[in-house]
C-alpha cells in the first residue's frame, strides 16, 4: 500500500480529546460570530441594496446616480448587470427561489404579466400615494397604467418609448413633403422619396417584424386576441395590416428584409432613407455621431393614424421584487433616481426619456431633445403595449414565422393568417388564468 512518506506519525496523537474540544469550541464560536455578523450585515440594518439592471442607456444613467445617492443616504448600492437575453430568466429563477437576491429590478414590460401572475413584484401603490417626490400625477393616465397589472403598480416607468415616425428633414423639405398623418400618406411619401433616388422608408422585416406588424394590426383596427384569449389575427383588419406591411417592402432598402430594430435605426441614420417607423427610445443613436451620419437632419412626428388612433407604447419598467430584503431602501433609491428633482439630470445622463409632463413640456429640454413632444400621448389615442400574456414569446415566434412567409411571398396573406390563427389557439390556451 502506498503511504505518504511525509506523514508525521505523531500527528493523530496530537489530536487528543482536549484539542478536539478546543477546536469544536472555536468552530462553534466562529459560527456564532458568523451568524451574528450575517444578521448584522442584513441589508435593512446596514442599509444595503442589490440592484438588478439590464445593460441599456437607462441602466447606465441609473448607475451614474449611485455615488451621490450613497453619499446622501448612507445606503450602499450593489449593482449586478445581466444581458437582456438571460435577464428575465435569471429574475424568474431568483423569484421562484424567494432568495431575496435583489431589492430593485429592471425588467421589460413584456414580462410584467408573468411577474404579476407569479406575484413576483411588490405593489408600489402605497409608496406612490405618499411620495410627492415621485409625483405620480406628473404622468398621464396611460403612462401611470404602463406598469400596472390587475390594478396594482408593479413597475415604475423607466423609459417611455412609443413607436413614432422619423423622417429626414432635408429630403422632405427638398421634395416639399410633410410627415404623414395617415398610413396612405406615409406610403405615398415613401414612393416620392424613392422616385427622387433615395430609399423611401424603413421598418424591420427581420427578426423583430412582429413589433411593426402588431402596431399595424392595432392601427388598422384589429387586435391579436379577444378578451377570452381567442386569437383574432385573421380578421380583415389584420389582413389589411399585413398586406400594407408587405407593400412597404417595395419602398424599403433591400437590407430591411433581414434587419432587426437596431439595424433599422443604424441604416436610417447612416444611409439615405426618407423615413422610419421605430421606437422613440432610439433617439440616443441620433445623438451618437458615430451612428448618425445625418446630423441635424432627423425629424420626428407622431405615428400615422389608420382606422384606429393608437399609440404603441414600449419601454422599460423597474420595480421592487416581492422577496426584496430591503424594500424601504429600494424605494428610496427609486425615488431618488426617478423622482421629479433628478428627472432632468436623468435624461441628460443619456437615458431614454421618461414621459413626465414636466419633462415633455420643458422648453429647454424640447429645444435639445425635440422628440420629447412625441411622448405626450393624446387622450384620444388608445394605448397598446406588448401583449400582457405569459405565452407572448411563443405567440410572437409563431407570428413572426407566419408574417415572414407572407413577406417572402411564400404564402398568401389570408391562408397564412388562418393557419397562424389555428396555431395560436393551443398556445393561448396555455395562458394561466389570472
Partner 1 sequence: MVTKLSGPRATSKRSKGKNLRPVAHFTVPTWIFLFLTILIPFIYGIYISFLNINLASFLPASFIGFDNYLNVLRAPETWSTFQITLVITVFGLLVQIPLGIILALALHENLRGTKIFRSILITPMLLTPVAVGLTYRFMFDTDLGVLNWMLGLLNIEKVNWLGSQTSALFAIIIVDSWQSIPFVMLLVLAALTAISPSLYEAARVDGASSSQIFRNLTLPLITPTLLVITMIKIMDFLKLFDTLFILTRGGPGNATTTLGLWTYKTGFIFLELSRAAALGVIVAIISLPVYFLWRKASKGVR
Contacts with partner 1, residue ranges (CB under 8 A):
2, 85-86, 89, 92-93, 95-96, 114, 117-120, 206-207, 253-255, 257-258, 267, 271, 390-391, 393-394, 397, 400-405, 407-408, 432
Minimum CB distance to partner 1 smaller for 145 or for 271: 271
Q: Which run of H or E residues covers position 107?
A: strand 104-108
Minimum CB distance to partner 1 smaller for 71 or for 254: 254
Minimum Å distance from CB 352 to partner 1?
24
Minimum Å distance from CB 386 to partner 1?
14
Distance CA 220, CA 143 (A): 23
Minimum Å distance from CB 273 to partner 1?
10
Minimum Å distance from CB 399 to partner 1?
10
Minimum Å distance from CB 397 to partner 1?
6
Kindly give the interhelix angle for 392-407 and 413-429, rounded to the nearest 10 degrees.
170
Minimum Å distance from CB 430 to partner 1?
8
Minimum CB distance to partner 1 smaller for 376 or for 401: 401
Q: Enumerate helices (H) and strands (E) in the chain, giving the number of each.
A: 20, 13
- Specify the length of the chain in residues: 434
- Three-class SS of residue 139? coil
Minimum Å distance from CB 391 to partner 1?
8
Segments of 146-232 assigned E as strands: 148-149, 152-153, 156-157, 161-168, 199-202
Minimum CB distance to partner 1 smaller for 96 or for 230: 96
C-alpha cell at 181: 398623418
Rg over alpha carbons for the chain, rounded to the nearest Å, is: 27
Minimum Å distance from CB 268 to partner 1?
11
Check: CB of residue 46 under 8 Å from CB of residue 37: no
Minimum CB distance to partner 1 smaller for 79 or for 400: 400
Q: Which run of H or E residues covers position 266?
A: helix 261-270
Minimum Å distance from CB 156 to partner 1?
22
Termini Cα distance of the chain: 67
Minimum CB distance to partner 1 smaller for 86 or for 288: 86
Check: CB of residue 189 under 8 Å from CB of residue 180: yes
Kindly give the interhelix angle for 209-219 and 392-407, rounded to the nearest 10 degrees.
90
Minimum Å distance from CB 128 to partner 1?
25
Minimum CB distance to partner 1 smaller for 128 or for 249: 249
Minimum CB distance to partner 1 smaller for 348 or for 431: 431
Minimum Å distance from CB 320 to partner 1?
18
Phi, psi dihedral angles at 202 (to 5 degrees): -145, 135
Check: CB of residue 389 under 8 Å from CB of residue 428: yes
Give the Cα-Cα-Cα angle 361, 367, 369 (nearest 5 degrees).
80
Going by C-alpha positions, the residue among 312, 308, 299, 320 that lies closest to residue 160 is 312
- Cβ within 8 Å of residue 28, ≥6 positions away: none
Minimum CB distance to partner 1 smaller for 372 or for 407: 407
Minimum CB distance to partner 1 smaller for 77 or for 416: 416
Across the strands, what pairs with 276? 166, 202
Distance CA 163, CA 348 (A): 21
Phi, psi dihedral angles at 107 (to 5 degrees): -150, 160
Going by C-alpha positions, the residue among 167, 145, 172 that lies closest to residue 156 is 145
Kindly give the interhelix angle for 236-249 and 413-429, rounded to the nearest 10 degrees.
120
Minimum CB distance to partner 1 smaller for 247 or for 293: 293
C-alpha cell at 120: 413576483
Amino acid at each position: 500500500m502506498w503511504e505518504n512518506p511525509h506523514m508525521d506519525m505523531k500527528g493523530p496523537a496530537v489530536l487528543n480529546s482536549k484539542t478536539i474540544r478546543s477546536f469544536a469550541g472555536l468552530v462553534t464560536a466562529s459560527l456564532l460570530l458568523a451568524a451574528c455578523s450575517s444578521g448584522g450585515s442584513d441589508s435593512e440594518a446596514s442599509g444595503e441594496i442589490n440592484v438588478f439592471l439590464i445593460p441599456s442607456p437607462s441602466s447606465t444613467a441609473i448607475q451614474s446616480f449611485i455615488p451621490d445617492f450613497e453619499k446622501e443616504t448612507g445606503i450602499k448600492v450593489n449593482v449586478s448587470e445581466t444581458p437582456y437575453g438571460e435577464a428575465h430568466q435569471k429574475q424568474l429563477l431568483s423569484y421562484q427561489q424567494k432568495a431575496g437576491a435583489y431589492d430593485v429590478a429592471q425588467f421589460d414590460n413584456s414580462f410584467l404579466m408573468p411577474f404579476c401572475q407569479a406575484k413576483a413584484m411588490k405593489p408600489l401603490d402605497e409608496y406612490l400615494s405618499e411620495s410627492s417626490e415621485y409625483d405620480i400625477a406628473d404622468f398621464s393616465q396611460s403612462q401611470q397604467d404602463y406598469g400596472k397589472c390587475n390594478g396594482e403598480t408593479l413597475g415604475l416607468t423607466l423609459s417611455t418609448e412609443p413607436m413614432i415616425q422619423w423622417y429626414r428633414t432635408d429630403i422632405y423639405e427638398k421634395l416639399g413633403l410633410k410627415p404623414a398623418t395617415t398610413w396612405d400618406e406615409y406610403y405615398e411619401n415613401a414612393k416620392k422619396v424613392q422616385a427622387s433616388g433615395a430609399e423611401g422608408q424603413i421598418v424591420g422585416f427581420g427578426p423583430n417584424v412582429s413589433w411593426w406588424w402588431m402596431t399595424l394590426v392595432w392601427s388598422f383596427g384589429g387586435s391579436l386576441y379577444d378578451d377570452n384569449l381567442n386569437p383574432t389575427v385573421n380578421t380583415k383588419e389584420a389582413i389589411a395590416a399585413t398586406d400594407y406591411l408587405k407593400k412597404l417592402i417595395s419602398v424599403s432598402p433591400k437590407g430591411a428584409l433581414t434587419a432587426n430594430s437596431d439595424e433599422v435605426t443604424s441604416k436610417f441614420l447612416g444611409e439615405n432613407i426618407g423615413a422610419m417607423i421605430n421606437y422613440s427610445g432610439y433617439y440616443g443613436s441620433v445623438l451618437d455621431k458615430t451612428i448618425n451620419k445625418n446630423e441635424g437632419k432627423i425629424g420626428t412626428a407622431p405615428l400615422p393614424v389608420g382606422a384606429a388612433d393608437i399609440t404603441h407604447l414600449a419601454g422599460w419598467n423597474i420595480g421592487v421584487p416581492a422577496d426584496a430584503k430591503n424594500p424601504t431602501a429600494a424605494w428610496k433609491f427609486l425615488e431618488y433616481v426617478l423622482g421629479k428633482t433628478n428627472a432632468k439630470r436623468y435624461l441628460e445622463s443619456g437615458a431614454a426619456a421618461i414621459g413626465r409632463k414636466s419633462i415633455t413640456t420643458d422648453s429647454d429640454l424640447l429645444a435639445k431633445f425635440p422628440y420629447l413632444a412625441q411622448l405626450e400621448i393624446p387622450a384620444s389615442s388608445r394605448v397598446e403595449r406588448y401583449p400582457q400574456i405569459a405565452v407572448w414569446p411563443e405567440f410572437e415566434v409563431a407570428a413572426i414565422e407566419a408574417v415572414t412567409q407572407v413577406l417572402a411571398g411564400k404564402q398568401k396573406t389570408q391562408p397564412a393568417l388562418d393557419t397562424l390563427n389555428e396555431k395560436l389557439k393551443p398556445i393561448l390556451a396555455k395562458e394561466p388564468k389570472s
